[in-house]
């Protein structure tokens, strides 16, 4: 089904504001998405109508808040194909979700000399927690190579078949720089055959496509609410129930215990044993509503729309001299490419590009995108500009971005045939 873009756009109040006195063209949803009224209203309704702590009060508004919060977990669980909400841990964001795995499961299972296999296209949030762990534990980190914008699966096989296979394998589902969609199902299967635990960074996939953690077969899966129409300050760690049952919590306090005595305590059941203290209640409720909204539109419809926009943008970019686009070489259906396009204009720094785009009302991101090793060492660039799409973007907005490239060339006096 084709998306009714103008109807969808009416739901997003920010899209009707101005940027630099011009219509706001928001092409930075990979950084954070905009929010529909459906989500904004759910959050304000909570504060207006039933603001109370959860799991504590015996009065009506507390019971209602608890119910809504739990309902949101049930929605998230079914949205990603988890067995139940017991497998859904709420934390601050994808970053905290990955750190939670590093500080709990990995802290008790990775030891001196053990190997952790990551990829060279990871966001810092799936590199730094492992470097910290490796330092504490004297573990070894290795990285799957990137070739032509894709993970080198021969290199992956070799690293899995190493004399000491990795104990943990972790990679991104979708690269926030290249837009590459990795074959996480196949990669997970191979890693599990070698006995590794698999963690997937789904920050850029869950908002944009159907994801089913059980069909992927991974042990852990992390993502953020703010990139999928939900509020900031809440993210999700999916964990396989059996593994979570065996894993000790790291943060202690209220709500995560069943009983406490002066010298010992016992843990609450899943998922609460990993959620100490008062939760981000409005965040959970808002995320639940975001999931409802996405389901109403349909993830396959969203993906199809983004493929169309991406194809169109790639096509238009290919017609412009002096534009370099980074990412995988894709087939016609863009089966391995999400709606994320990183590019440079030869002769221009990406920060200047983003600033000039802004003067045209077009919001894009520029820099290393929190993936410095990928941008600096794999792409060999100091920085790249990036446009990213979501369900509310339209072709006319891509046209505005394309026109802004001509403005960049004009302002920076870039000569016609500058070649890289």
Segment near ligand C6P (CB under 6 A); pick from 89-97, 208-216, 249-257, 342-350:
89-97
Task: Decide: 400 and 419 in contact? Cβ < 8 Å.
Answer: no
| C-beta neighbour count of 135 within 10 angstroms | 10
- CB closer to ligand C6P out of 149 and 322: 149
Does position 280 bind ligand C6P by CB under 6 A?
no
343: left (phi over 0), alpha (psi -120 to 50) or beta: beta
| Bridge partners, 25 (sequence order) | 362
Could you tell me the smallest distance in angstroms from the CB atom of residue 224 to ligand C6P? Answer: 3
Does position 219 bind ligand C6P by CB under 6 A?
no
Q: Give the contact letters, 400-419, x = binds to ligand C6P (CB under 6 A), - = no.
A: --------------------
- CB closer to ligand C6P out of 251 and 257: 251
- Give the torsion through C-alpha atoms of 53, 96, 184, 337, to 10 deg: 100
Does position 33 bind ligand C6P by CB under 6 A?
no
Among 224, 330, 342, 393, binds ligand C6P (CB under 6 A): 224
Does position 372 bind ligand C6P by CB under 6 A?
no
Does position 201 bind ligand C6P by CB under 6 A?
yes
Does position 205 bind ligand C6P by CB under 6 A?
no
Task: Decide: 72 and 225 in contact? Cβ < 8 Å.
Answer: no
Total residues at interface with ligand C6P (CB under 6 A):
16
Q: Which residues are catalytic?
A: 370
Tell me whether residue 276 is exposed, middle or buried, using C-beta atoms within 10 angstroms of its C-beta: 0 to 12, 13 to 18, 19 or more: middle
Cα separation of 212 and 339, whole Å? 20
Does position 208 bind ligand C6P by CB under 6 A?
no
Among 176, 330, 342, 344, binds ligand C6P (CB under 6 A): 176
Does position 94 bind ligand C6P by CB under 6 A?
yes
Does position 370 bind ligand C6P by CB under 6 A?
yes
- CB closer to ligand C6P out of 8 and 94: 94
| 323 membership: H or E segment, kind and range | strand 323-326
Could you tell me the smallest distance in angstroms from the CB atom of residue 57 to ligand C6P? Answer: 30
Does position 204 bind ligand C6P by CB under 6 A?
yes
Among 203, 353, 362, 364, binds ligand C6P (CB under 6 A): 203
- CB closer to ligand C6P out of 94 and 391: 94
Which parts of 141-271 fold into alpha helices (H)? 153-160, 184-193, 213-216, 241-246
- CB closer to ligand C6P out of 53 and 232: 232
Question: Measuring CA to CA, which residue among 106, 237, 121 is closest to residue 175?
Answer: 121
Coil, strand or helix at 400: helix
Could you tell me the smallest distance in angstroms from the CB atom of residue 98 to ligand C6P? Answer: 7
Segment near ligand C6P (CB under 6 A); pick from 90-98, 186-194, 250-258, 411-419:
90-98
3-state helix, strand, coil in the chain (%, to 5): 40, 20, 40
Give whole-number Cα distances, 267 to 57, 88, 246, 248, 259, in Å: 20, 16, 12, 9, 7
Secondary structure (DSSP) of 264-319: -EEEPSTTGGG--SS--HHHHHHHHHHHHHHHHH-HHHHHHHHHHHHHHHHHHHHT
End-to-end C-alpha distance for the chain, whole angstroms = 41
Place of tokens 């990139």: 227
Cα separation of 92 and 235, whole Å? 5
Among 30, 134, 151, 364, binds ligand C6P (CB under 6 A): 30
Segment near ligand C6P (CB under 6 A); pick from 16-24, 81-89, 153-161, 363-371:
363-371
Coil, strand or helix at 31: coil
Among 75, 120, 123, 273, binds ligand C6P (CB under 6 A): 123
Does position 337 bind ligand C6P by CB under 6 A?
no
Among 75, 115, 159, 365, binds ligand C6P (CB under 6 A): 365
Could you tell me the smallest distance in angstroms from the CB atom of residue 232 to ligand C6P? Answer: 8
Could you tell me the smallest distance in angstroms from the CB atom of residue 365 to ligand C6P? Answer: 6
Question: Measuring CA to CA, which residue among 215, 186, 184 is closest to residue 200?
Answer: 184
What residues line the site for ligand C6P (CB under 6 A)?
30-31, 93-95, 123, 125, 172, 176, 201, 203-204, 224, 365, 369-370
């Amino acid at each position: 089904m084709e998306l009714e873009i103008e109807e969808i756009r009416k739901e997003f109040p920010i899209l009707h504001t101005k940027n630099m006195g011009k219509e706001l063209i928001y092409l930075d949803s990979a950084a954070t998405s905009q929010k529909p009224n459906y989500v904004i209203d759910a959050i304000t309704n909570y504060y207006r109508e039933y603001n109370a702590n959860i799991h504590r009060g015996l009065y009506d508004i507390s019971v209602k808040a608890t119910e809504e919060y739990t309902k949101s977990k049930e929605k998230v669980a079914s949205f990603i194909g988890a067995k139940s909400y017991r497998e859904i841990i709420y934390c601050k964001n994808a970053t905290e979700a990955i750190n939670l795995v590093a500080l709990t499961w990995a802290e008790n299972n990775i030891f001196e000399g053990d190997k952790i296999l990551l990829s060279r296209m990871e966001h810092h949030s799936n590199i730094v927690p492992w470097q910290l762990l490796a330092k504490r534990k004297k573990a070894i980190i290795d990285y799957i190579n990137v070739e032509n914008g894709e993970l080198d699966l021969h290199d992956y096989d070799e690293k899995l078949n190493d004399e000491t296979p990795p104990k943990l394998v972790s990679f991104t589902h979708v690269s926030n720089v290249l837009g590459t969609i990795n074959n996480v199902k196949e990669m997970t299967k191979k890693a599990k055959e070698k006995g590794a635990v698999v963690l997937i960074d789904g920050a850029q996939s869950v908002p944009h496509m159907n994801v089913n953690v059980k069909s992927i077969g991974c042990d852990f899966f992390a993502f953020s609410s703010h990139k999928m129409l939900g509020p900031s300050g809440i993210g999700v760690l999916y964990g396989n129930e059996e593994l979570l049952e065996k894993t000790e919590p790291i943060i202690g306090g209220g709500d995560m215990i069943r009983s406490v005595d002066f010298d010992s305590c016992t843990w609450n059941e899943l998922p609460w044993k990993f959620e100490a203290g008062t939760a981000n209640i409005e965040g959970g409720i808002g995320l639940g509503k975001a999931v409802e909204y996405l389901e109403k539109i349909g993830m396959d419809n969203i993906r199809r729309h983004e493929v169309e926009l991406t194809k169109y943008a790639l096509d238009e970019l290919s017609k412009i001299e002096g534009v370099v686009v980074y990412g995988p070489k894709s087939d016609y259906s863009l089966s391995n490419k999400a709606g994320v396009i990183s590019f440079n204009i030869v002769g221009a720094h990406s920060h200047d590009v983003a600033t000039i785009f802004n003067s045209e009302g077009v919001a894009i991101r520029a820099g290393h995108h929190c993936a410095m090793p990928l941008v600096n060492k794999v792409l060999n660039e100091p920085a790249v500009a990036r446009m990213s799409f979501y369900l509310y973007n339209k072709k006319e907005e891509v046209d505005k971005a394309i026109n802004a490239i001509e403005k960049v060339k004009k302002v920076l006096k870039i000569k016609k045939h500058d070649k890289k």
